[in-house]
Structure 1
Amino acid sequence: MTKNWYVLYVKPKNEKKVAQRLSALQVEVYCPMIKEVKQWSDRKKTIEAPLFKSYVFINISEGERQRVFDVPGVVRYLYWLGKPAVVRDIEMETLKKWLTDDTVENYSLTKLESGDKVAIKYGALKDKKAQIIEIGKTRVRLILEGMGVVLNMKIKDLA
């Protein structure tokens, strides 16, 4: 029985609780945590917070995917191109290694949005700069700077 890493969307501020409950059900779960310094008016405190707000990762077989909904706080699976998003083992290992590597001092997570500028790294348009116009489920529209054209791309299903 093949297991895959899936991404679960959980209720806000329930990441730790859901991870503990899933673990109690013998489900392999990973909730990446980071240390953050919170500032209040009278003090500072270092807390452990989830790296990805409202998400936890689980390693489970296709046939067992439904049983996670027995856990309070689980909302749904994250989908990509109409299918439950599967995270490759190598990506999970990289994430785990990165979080345990004490040479990383600062980080930031950003989501691509309309208006963002990007550089194309691969393919026929390698090294071209573009601005994102629109991001859909399976398509992306870009303005290629310096060429004066709009590029409509269909994203290949990676699953």
Structure 2
Amino acid sequence: MIDNSYKWYPIYTRSRAEKKTQEELNRKNIETYLPLIKVEKQWSDRKKITEEPLLRSYLFVYISSKEYTEVLMTYGVSRFIYFTGKIASIPLKQIADLKLLLANNADLELVEHEISLGEKVLIKAGPFKGIIAELVSLKSKKSLVLRLENLGFSILIKTSMAHIEPLK
């Protein structure tokens, strides 16, 4: 049975081809959404603000199931994202929420792993690299309170959530 209702679907693109793939899909009159964030890049002689995808290699398309093939035949598209054996669709509210977050220039940082309070973590970057600690509290994504092993006290460390990972 073909579903003619339109939904948002996540697609996986070739590496670093999100913007070009979006252009190709728009040329085919397919509505797309590519969440972009502003990132400051540092070169040896200057700094520059660039826009990069929030989710690398991901792009969202607003289509009905009869347009699946047209999307897959577009330059840069690798595949649809599947969840429990079916092509995943994203609720309209989630896309709207994501657009709202990005429109307000929220300080977003994507963290691929979930870390709970009390969990042992390894600091994998920055000046504290290699230290094993316990996550005691989370002030923000960039300000964590970690308890260092065997010292009996907690230290507020201003580091990014992206710089820690759960200890396996």
User: Same fold by TM-score, threshold 0.5 exceeded?
Assistant: yes
Correspondent of 2:57 among 54, 58, 72? 54
Look up the SS of the partner of 1:2 in the other structure.
coil
* Pair 1:90–1:117, CA change in 2 (3 A): same
- Partner-residue secondary structure (3-state), 1:65: helix
Tell me if 1:91 matches 2:94.
yes
TM-score calculated relative to the size of structure 2: 0.65
The 1:111/1:75 distance shift into structure 2, 3 A limit, reads same
Equivalent residue for 1:34?
A: 37
Matched, 1:66 2:69: yes
Deviations 1:69-88 (A, max 9, x none): 22111100111111111100
Larger Rg: 2
Q: Which runs of 5+ in 2 are unaligned?
A: 121-168
Residue 85 (structure 2) aligns with: 82
Q: Which residue of 1 aligns with 2:15?
A: 12
SS at match of 1:86: coil
- What is the aligned-residue identity percentage? 35
What amino acid does structure 2 have at the position aligned with 1:111? E
SS at match of 1:59: strand
Alpha-carbon offset, residue 62 of structure 1: 1.0
Instruction: Give distance in 2, aligned partners of 1:72 and 1:107.
Output: 29
Q: Give, as a single letter, the amino acid of the residue that structure 1 aligns with 2:116.
A: V
TM-score, normalised via structure 1 length:
0.68
Q: 1:117 to 1:34 in 2, by over 3 A?
A: closer
Q: Which runs of 4+ in 1 moved over 4 A?
A: none
Q: C-alpha displacement at 1:49, in angstroms?
A: 0.9
